[in-house]
Amino acid sequence: MNWDETTDAAPDTERLVGASADHEDQAVEAALRPKDLGEFIGQEKVREQLDLVLRAARARGATADHVLLSGAPGLGKTTLSMIIAAEMGAPIRITSGPAIQHAGDLAAILSSLQEGEVLFLDEIHRMSRPAEEMLYMAMEDFRVDVIVGKGPGATAIPLELPPFTLVGATTRAGLLPPPLRDRFGFTAHMEFYEPPELERVIHRSANLLDVEIDTDGAVEISGRSRGTPRIANRLLRRVRDYAQVKADGHIDRDIAAAALAVYEVDARGLDRLDRAVLEALLKLFGGGPVGLSTLAVAVGEERETVEEVAEPFLVREGLLARTPRGRVATPAAWAHLGLAPPQGGPGATGQQGLFGA
């Protein structure tokens, strides 16, 4: 009985504070997406730069340059791609790297684009090599070579494409081959959001969802949202459930805090798994260094789950450090769990290296 094998969901989609979109998110997200740049909250630099790119293209009556959007899940890449199309008054075609396995798949899409259309290519780092090479030429010269036939008799038939705007999105910009990266006229890197920006996201969403929330309620949720609008929206929906069942539906600070305690999302946005990892590191291994495998066994999780699901946020929050000798807790980790570091400071257990990498 292994249900995991039958789902294609990433391990963190089950988590309330996981940044990937789950099924419920996908349904609600469409309704909550800002429709134009003016509605898009935060990311000031990206917004200002993109605004210039799009205005200039519009003034020239030209198609906008290709845009690459990079950043962690849930920060607004898909949203921004739709905004680009809306601002240009252009239709948008949506596809993704994994959906384009053969160059022919891409040729079919490219050759059916209308002039000025926005082609949104999500997870662009997961495209196959031959498709990628076809894309180079399409981006640069608005042309593709369609190969007809096989072997020595194969011929390349050049096909002119109408000008279009490619919007590529990736969570892993580092994985893009430089020739592909260089063909984007504008690259935007999305940063995590500050709590005041997330508060605005929460108020905006509450409004659209017809939920009453006061300032302190939004502050409470924003601080636990891991810098990510998708998580803020998801936590808002869970707090709304609680407010409806346990109170009169209105969300204030106490209701938000009580609801998130039920869902085991703590004041800093850590969930049960994050805390389990941190607690094991501190209580069982004196703050480390301890090897990843050992740490994973201690919390009863797979190595990959600890490494890919829990650690990135703990590292980002400055609670855990990855060192060549193993995982180490920072002073902030001891403070967050309300524990006293061992004599001589964190990690100074006199047994360094004992727990091997």
Question: What is the set of active-site residues?
Answer: 77-78, 122, 171, 230
Q: How far is the CB of 222 from ligand ATP (least distance, A)?
A: 12
Residue with tokens 């950043």: 71
Chain length of the chain: 357
Q: Which amino acid is at 39?
A: E
If the CB atoms of residues 209 and 297 are measured against ligand ATP, the closer one turns out to be 209
Q: Which amino acid is at 294?
A: T
If the CB atoms of residues 26 and 155 are measured against ligand ATP, the closer one turns out to be 26
Return the range that interacts with Mg ion (CB under 5 A); candidates 70-78, 226-234, 273-281, 321-329.
Answer: 70-78
Taking a C-beta distance cutoff of 8 angstroms, is the pair 274, 312 a contact? no
Return the range that interacts with Mg ion (CB under 5 A); candidates 78-86, 97-105, 141-149, 175-183.
Answer: 78-86
Phi, psi of 248 (to 5 degrees): -95, 15
Residue 16: both structure tokens together: 């309330």
Q: What angle do CA 87, 57, 125 make, to 5 degrees?
A: 75
- 233 scored as a contact of Mg ion (CB under 5 A): no
If the CB atoms of residues 46 and 290 are measured against ligand ATP, the closer one turns out to be 46
If the CB atoms of residues 22 and 264 are measured against ligand ATP, the closer one turns out to be 22
> Which option in Mg ion, ligand ATP, none does residue 40 bind, with CB closer than 5 to 8 A by kind?
ligand ATP
**Angle between helices 253-262 and 229-246 in degrees, nearest 10:** 100
Residues that bind ligand ATP (CB under 6 A): 20-21, 29, 32-34, 40-43, 73-79, 171, 201, 229-230, 233
If the CB atoms of residues 78 and 225 are measured against Mg ion, the closer one turns out to be 78
Q: How far is the CB of 169 from ligand ATP (least distance, A)?
A: 6
> Which option in Mg ion, ligand ATP, none does residue 234 bind, with CB closer than 5 to 8 A by kind?
none
Residue 70: DSSP 8-state: E
Phi, psi of 355 (to 5 degrees): -95, 15
Binding-site member from 78, 222, 228, 233 for Mg ion (CB under 5 A):
78
Q: 13: helix, coil or strand?
A: helix
Site string for Mg ion, 289-328 (x = CB under 5 A): ----------------------------------------
Q: How far apart are CA 108 and CA 100, in angstroms?
A: 10
| Cβ neighbours of residue 82 closer than 8 Å, sequence gap 6 or more | 33, 35, 92, 120
Give the helix/strand (H/E) hosting 147: strand 143-148
**Binding stretches for Mg ion (CB under 5 A):** 77-78
